[in-house]
Amino acid sequence: MDPVSWTWFLPEAFLLGAALLVFLLDVLGVEKLEAFGAVAVGATALSLLAVVADLGFTPLSFLSTLPPSVVDSGGGATSLYAFSSLGLVFQGVFLSSALLVSLASLSRPSHEKGAAVFYGLLLMATLGMMLVAVSADLIFLLLAIEVTGIATYLMVGYTRKDARGLEAAMKFYIIGALSTALSFFGASLLFGAFGSTNLLVLSQGLGGISNHSLALVGYAFLIVGLGFKVTLVPFHAWAVDVYDGAPTDVSAFLAGGTKKMGVFAFFLVFIGPLSILTVRAVNCTGTVCIAPYDFRPTVELTLGLLAIVTMTLGNVLALLQKEMKRMLAYSSISQAGYMMIGIAIGTAPALAGATLQILAHVFMKAGAFLVVAGVSALGVGPLIAQYRGLGQRRPYLGVAFALMLLSLAGIPLTVGFVSKFILFSAAVQASTVAGQSFFFWLAVAGLLNSALSVFYYARVLKVMYMESPDASVPLDGPAGDPTGGLGYGRSAAILLAVVAIVALGVYPQPVFSAIQAAATHFVASGA
Amino acid sequence: MGAFDSLFQWAFLVPLFPLLGLVIVGFFGDRMKKAEFGGWVAVAFSGMAMVLGVLIAVGEALTPGRYTDVSYAWLTLPGTQSVFSNGFSLVMGTLVDPISALMLIVVNVVGFLVMLYSIEYMHHDKGLPRYYAELSLFLVAMNGLILSDNLLEFFLFWELVGVCSYFLIGFYYEKPSAASAAKEAFLVTRVGDVLFLLGIFIYFATYATSGGGAGWAASGFKFTTGSTPFLGSLVGSASSPTLTIAGLMMLAGAAGKSAQFPLDVWLPDAMEGPTTVSALIHAATMVAAGVYLLAVVSLFLGFTADDRLAIVAVGGFTTIWAASMAVVNTDIKRVVAYSTISQLGYMVLAVGAGFAMVGLYHLFTHAFFKALLFLAAGAVIHAVGTQDLLKMGGLGKSMRITSIAFLIGALSLSGFPGFAGFWSKDDVLASVYSQVGAHPLYWPFLLCALATVFLTAYYIFRAWFLAFSGDHPRDPTLPHGHDAPWAMRLPLLVLSVLAAVAGLFAFLPSFSSLLPGANVPPVYGSTDLVLTAVSAGLGLGGIGVAYVMWGNGRVFQLPSGSPLQGARTVLLRRYYMKDAYDWIGLHGVYRLARAADFVDQFVIDGSIRGIERAFSSLSNGMRRLQTGVVSDYAAYVVTGLVGVLLFFLFVAPWIFRTMGGG
């Protein structure tokens, strides 16, 4: 391993610097939202390019900050961090969602109060997520999650005027604090069982294990604590109220960004190079020797059941929602269920499929929330029924929203189809291995749920295209504005999302093969 | 030949040009001030496709045996030990090889000429942008099909061809007969398509799981690697019953698209579309897709001996089956349509006998003389406003150019020595004759094909005499026909030349490298010369009989008491095949559909409504859990924690114990 260099953390440093700059500008009396926004967009774009360069995208190699020998080499027994290519992919995912949201928020009112708080916190939250992606130690991981957590609690209530936003922030904070406590308690139990919180130490059972049950209880606490972030049922209830009550751009960031951080934490703890699931060798500490114990079947079964419950419940509850944001919130919960399929299976193809699903979800779900934010800025109400005739009155916006919904439903030629296809076929493939026929039912549950979900997405399309517009709703935006009241930043963000959805749906191979390689590394160095 | 190497890389532009034409005409055609302008745009793009296609073909002819494959993986997935052990790819690519180069000429030259001809022919039609958009889409699909480098891509474009034919046959969709002909074409070919897809699955399952073919799935089910079939020695060596079934499925697919017995009923009805469409789809290109499929399968996947016998039987029987129906028909377009089915039978026959190249040689010449016949027939219909041969007559005087064009097409079709059809048809017969030792059943089908030579010459000259010879039209109310303007004449002229001489191309050494393999160009041994003499004699005899019965304005009337009247009725009713299908449809399928509808309405819909109601009430019930009270939410988290703990410590161990260790 090369000697540690601070340049390895340049992408993270950009974000930290930008966050501090935003707060500094605020203190210096700058009030223009565009100034803060420009800093945030610049920093996230720059770090995104650096991360893509680190992933081995040669045209950008001059921006690369990591020596290739560091990536995928694993961490040491005392490391706090380790770079994996899958972690870099996730950094790309986090930065993409931050970039989309900060770009779209440029179109918020120019002198909005709290713009500096919003952008500063957005950058801090992204920084926390970036650190999650390079964790090699349970405590480091949980602290990084907390950095993001605290920033996002504040973001939900940053306007300080909106009672619903404040209420949502309070709920988010209380439940978040509870789950953090559970996570740390789980980590302390694992420390008790293994004598370390370093993931490598845990994964190799170096410290020996004195009590399987103690470790199992630790895992259970960890699953619950992380499940809160991923919105697994029954730890999901906060998500609907928060996504609904938060400013919609923040909802986009929560659904598109921070939720994925939880998924990656699951990857790290339960699958990756540092997976703690298998205690491989017979270890003797003192006079007590213990046989190897495989926790994997138990955890796989639990995560698989949670996946099924989560996607089914999310979809069923989405069916009857009358409000657009709540419908999207429930659909986001069900999407978490699909991602959990990949974690439960844990093979390289399944991980690759789940990762593509996560990348897709940034563009389709965050994109959808950004559209909703734009539409409500025009003066359209929160109900689905109030989107009447959007497709006819705003053809471009309508097509963009329709593509996002179709992608969420998994219709071919959108990325949502490709990722589900890969994920479910990986499940079927894994089920051909003896003793894992259970995975087949995960694929079946996923397929049935996809079919069910088409129902509520199609209902929105029907409202948008088949019902005539409500003349009283100012769908057209102010006259003379070429973006029709959306603003350039938001239009650009929506366009980016749509381009990504279609490009990855029509020709997924280049991006997918990078993800596939990363996932294979991740699993191979773990087994 | 470095220059051509880079040219072959750009083969994907051939389908892309008409696609651009489609986009421009389709999206902006309605806004153009003059409707023809959109037509010219489409013509220009198909012209570019033709130039590039012909250039590629020339390059291929000058560098014999070159296979250039350019492909992009759409998606690559890993496999498992038991299935697709080397992984699995979905690939889009272009393969330029001798036979696809040959097809590029056929499709794009005929396509361009038909488009040019249509400018005038469809002049008065209000749906012009739609017409050109659909025609362009058809060229996209056809070019994509012939350039496909793997089976799945081939199937994709195959289906697109089917959709296009549905659009174009039903172009006059306000006319009930056109709408139903379009549906008929779509449904009948669909029978073949479904079986074709099944065949693809069988090939995948058979080859991709066996040791030698493991790389096949990883490659994306490519046809070739370099210049050899991808499956290498597996092709043709295996003779398992499964492969025979797969081959029969391919035959079924081809029979649907190429209108072979018993899936031939749709093609005569497809004449409901504009005549130009008939020329493009139902003479030169779409129906060629089936024969091309058979050729591709026989070259790259291999047919078993039993498959070949079945193919020979279908092809041989179809020649005489269709020709006999043409003998009595009095609709000028339908006569030509039956001749298409019959001629396709020759091509299928040749592929079945093991001479795919000979089949494609006949496909090549046939494309030109058949497009010529259709366009000439179209010119006649355009001029006199009827398709009924009995009303025409004496048109040779007023429509001299059209008359000569039709005559050249007829001579070529009937195999008059020296014309294009002569060489290729002769080659088919000689090839089949060389294989009669393979199985005693080859003989009867060869005799069918020989008898068809006589019938073909008879019916096509009957049509020519009825339309063009004599002094005046038999129906005096017919408008006075005259030759068409240059945009219609030019294609007739070019096609006339090609219909006369295209057969000779095979004797050019460089051109014949597009048809590598035995028997192209025709070789004339002593027995073959006898066969040639016999078939030429049969053809001349057919022309002679037609002259005696129909020449110079004569109209042959079958005596009313003749026992042949019954046969005539059977032929006019098309052997009651359509009636049989209708009967099956009404009494079998319709009743089945009624039963299915009952099940659908009461059992399936009922249970779906039940499920919907169940989910809705479930949704309603669970919605109450979303209280908005934060302590409730915390309670859920804790309940969940307890659940997970119980599951971990008690339920999961119990499950693994009862399942025997999991």
Q: Under a CB-based contact definition with an 8 Å cutoff, are residues B318 and B348 in contact? A: yes
Q: Under a CB-based contact definition with an 8 Å cutoff, are residues B191 and B264 in contact? A: no
**Omega into B521 within 30° of 0, i.e. cis?**
yes
Residue of chain B minimizing CA distance to A298: B652
How does residue A145 score in pLDDT terms, banded at 50, 70 and 90? very high
CB contact under 8 Å between A178 and B655, yes or no, is: no
Q: Does B647 touch chain A (CB under 8 A)?
A: yes
* pLDDT tops 90 at residue A129: yes
Q: Under a CB-based contact definition with an 8 Å cutoff, are residues A104 and A120 in contact? A: no
* pLDDT tops 50 at residue B431: yes
Indicate the length of chain A as a whole number.
527
CB contact under 8 Å between B636 and A508, yes or no, is: no
CB contact under 8 Å between B76 and A418, yes or no, is: no
Residue type, A148: T
CA-to-CA distance for B659 and B651, rounded, in angstroms?
A: 12
- DSSP notation for B178-224: HHHHHHHHHHHHHHHHHHHHHHHHHHHHHHTTSGGGHHHHHHTSBSE
Which residue carries 């460089």 as its tokens? B510
How does residue A285 score in pLDDT terms, banded at 50, 70 and 90? low
CB contact under 8 Å between A509 and B76, yes or no, is: yes
B657 contact residues in A (CB cutoff 8 A): none
Q: Does B639 touch chain A (CB under 8 A)?
A: yes
Phi-psi region of A380 (alpha: psi -120 to 50; beta: other; left: phi over 0): beta
Average pLDDT over residues B400-429: 88
Mapped onto helix, strand or coil, the DSSP state of residue B82 is coil
- β-bridge mates for residue A383, sequence order: A323
Report residue A279: phi and psi, to 5°: -95, 110
CB contact under 8 Å between A234 and B73, yes or no, is: no
How does residue A280 score in pLDDT terms, banded at 50, 70 and 90? very low
Phi-psi region of B32 (alpha: psi -120 to 50; beta: other; left: phi over 0): beta
**CA distance to partner chain B, nearest, from residue A344 (Å):** 15
CA-to-CA distance for B662 and B654, rounded, in angstroms?
A: 11
Report chain A's mean pLDDT, rounded to a whole number: 86
Report residue B522: phi and psi, to 5°: -55, 140
CA-to-CA distance for A390 and A388, rounded, in angstroms?
A: 6
A440 contact residues in B (CB cutoff 8 A): none
pTM metric for this prediction: 0.78
CA-to-CA distance for B465 and A483, rounded, in angstroms?
A: 69
Q: Which residues contact A389 (CB under 8 A, 6 or more apart)?
A: A464, A467, A468, A469, A470, A475
Handedness of CA A212, A217, A221, A226 (dihedral sign): positive
How does residue A353 score in pLDDT terms, banded at 50, 70 and 90? very high
The structure tokens listed for B634 are 């915390």
Mapped onto helix, strand or coil, the DSSP state of residue B477 is coil
Residue type, B103: M
Closest Cα to residue A338, out of A454, A427, A435? Answer: A427
Q: Which residues of B614-653 are buried (b: 16+ CB within 10 A; e: fewer)?
A: ebeebbeeebeebeeebeebbebbeebbebbbebbbebbe
pLDDT digits (tens, 9 = 90+) for A297-312: 788 888 899 999 999 9
Closest partner CB to B648 (pick from A220, A233, A320): A220
Q: Does B598 touch chain A (CB under 8 A)?
A: no
CB contact under 8 Å between B652 and A302, yes or no, is: yes
The structure tokens listed for B521 are 């160009």
pLDDT digits (tens, 9 = 90+) for B507-519: 887 777 888 876 7
> What is residue B470's predicted lDDT score, i.e. its pLDDT?
79
How does residue B653 score in pLDDT terms, banded at 50, 70 and 90? confident
Q: Residues of B numbered 81-120 whose beta carbons fall under 8 angstroms of chain A's beta carbons: which are they?
A: 82-83
The kind and range of the H/E element at A279 are: strand A278-279
A189 burial (CB, 10 Å; 0-12 / 13-18 / 19+) is buried
A185 contact residues in B (CB cutoff 8 A): none
Residue of chain A minimizing CA distance to B633: A237
A334 contact residues in B (CB cutoff 8 A): none
> What is residue A211's predicted lDDT score, i.e. its pLDDT?
66
DSSP state of B437: G
Residue of chain B minimizing CA distance to A309: B640
- What is the SS3 string spanning B356-404? HHHHHHHHHHHHHHHHHHHHHHHHHHHHHCCCEHHHCCCHHHHCHHHHH
Closest Cα to residue A224, out of B645, B627, B632, B651? Answer: B645
**CA distance to partner chain B, nearest, from residue A370 (Å):** 24
> What is residue A345's predicted lDDT score, i.e. its pLDDT?
86
Report residue B34: phi and psi, to 5°: -115, 130
Higher per-residue confidence, B598 vs B34: B598
Closest Cα to residue A492, out of A46, A45, A16? Answer: A45
Residue of chain A minimizing CA distance to B652: A298
How does residue A101 score in pLDDT terms, banded at 50, 70 and 90? very high
**CA distance to partner chain A, nearest, from residue B604 (Å):** 16
Question: Would you give the distance in Å from CA B175 to the centre of its chain?
Answer: 24
> What is residue B649's predicted lDDT score, i.e. its pLDDT?
82
CA-to-CA distance for A10 and A134, rounded, in angstroms?
A: 13
A429 contact residues in B (CB cutoff 8 A): 78-80, 83
- β-bridge mates for residue A284, sequence order: A289
* pLDDT tops 70 at residue A372: yes
DSSP state of B527: H
> What is residue A130's predicted lDDT score, i.e. its pLDDT?
94
- Tell me the pairing of strands A288-290 and A283-285: antiparallel
Q: Under a CB-based contact definition with an 8 Å cutoff, are residues A170 and B634 in contact? A: no
How does residue A206 score in pLDDT terms, banded at 50, 70 and 90? low
Higher per-residue confidence, B363 vs B264: B363
CB contact under 8 Å between B662 and A223, yes or no, is: no
Q: Does B608 touch chain A (CB under 8 A)?
A: no
DSSP state of B438: G
> CA dist A382 to A1, A322, A333, Å?
54, 9, 19
CB contact under 8 Å between A178 and B653, yes or no, is: no
Report residue A152: phi and psi, to 5°: -75, -30
pLDDT digits (tens, 9 = 90+) for A239-275: 999 999 898 999 999 998 888 999 999 988 887 655 5
CB contact under 8 Å between B615 and A319, yes or no, is: yes
Average pLDDT over residues B296-302: 85
Indicate the length of chain B as a whole number.
662
Q: Determine which of A167, A183, A266, A319 to mutate to test the interface with B (most B C-beta atoms within 10 Å).
A: A319
* pLDDT tops 90 at residue A146: yes
Share of chain B above pLDDT 90, in %: 12
Handedness of CA A464, A468, A472, A474 (dihedral sign): positive
How many Cβ atoms from other residues are within 10 Å of residue B305's Cβ?
Answer: 14
Q: Under a CB-based contact definition with an 8 Å cutoff, are residues B216 and B231 in contact? A: yes
The structure tokens listed for A328 are 């999207």
How does residue B661 score in pLDDT terms, banded at 50, 70 and 90? very low
Residue of chain A minimizing CA distance to B647: A302
**CA distance to partner chain B, nearest, from residue A284 (Å):** 24
Closest partner CB to B620 (pick from A320, A452, A508): A320
Q: Under a CB-based contact definition with an 8 Å cutoff, are residues A367 and A402 in contact? A: no
Phi-psi region of B87 (alpha: psi -120 to 50; beta: other; left: phi over 0): left
CB contact under 8 Å between B630 and A220, yes or no, is: no
Q: Under a CB-based contact definition with an 8 Å cutoff, are residues A243 and A332 in contact? A: yes
CB contact under 8 Å between B647 and A174, yes or no, is: no
CA-to-CA distance for A155 and A169, rounded, in angstroms?
A: 8
Average pLDDT over residues B78-97: 77
CA-to-CA distance for B57 and B11, rounded, in angstroms?
A: 10
Closest partner CB to A241 (pick from B628, B639, B652): B628
**CA distance to partner chain B, nearest, from residue A181 (Å):** 12
The structure tokens listed for A330 are 């429930």
**Omega into A234 within 30° of 0, i.e. cis?**
yes
Q: Determine which of B74, B619, B655, B658 to mutate to test the interface with A (most A C-beta atoms within 10 Å).
A: B619
> What is residue A527's predicted lDDT score, i.e. its pLDDT?
37
Q: Under a CB-based contact definition with an 8 Å cutoff, are residues A279 and A146 in contact? A: no
The structure tokens listed for B397 are 């005087």
Q: Determine which of B71, B627, B630 to mutate to test the interface with A (most A C-beta atoms within 10 Å).
A: B630
Closest partner CB to A175 (pick from B74, B633, B641): B633
Q: Determine which of B71, B88, B209, B637 to mutate to test the interface with A (most A C-beta atoms within 10 Å).
A: B637
Higher per-residue confidence, B486 vs A33: A33
CB contact under 8 Å between B634 and A174, yes or no, is: yes
The structure tokens listed for B370 are 């058949």
Closest partner CB to B639 (pick from A227, A228, A234): A234
Continuous H helices in A28-157: 33-54, 85-105, 115-132, 138-156
CA-to-CA distance for A48 and A359, rounded, in angstroms?
A: 14
Report chain B's mean pLDDT, rounded to a whole number: 83
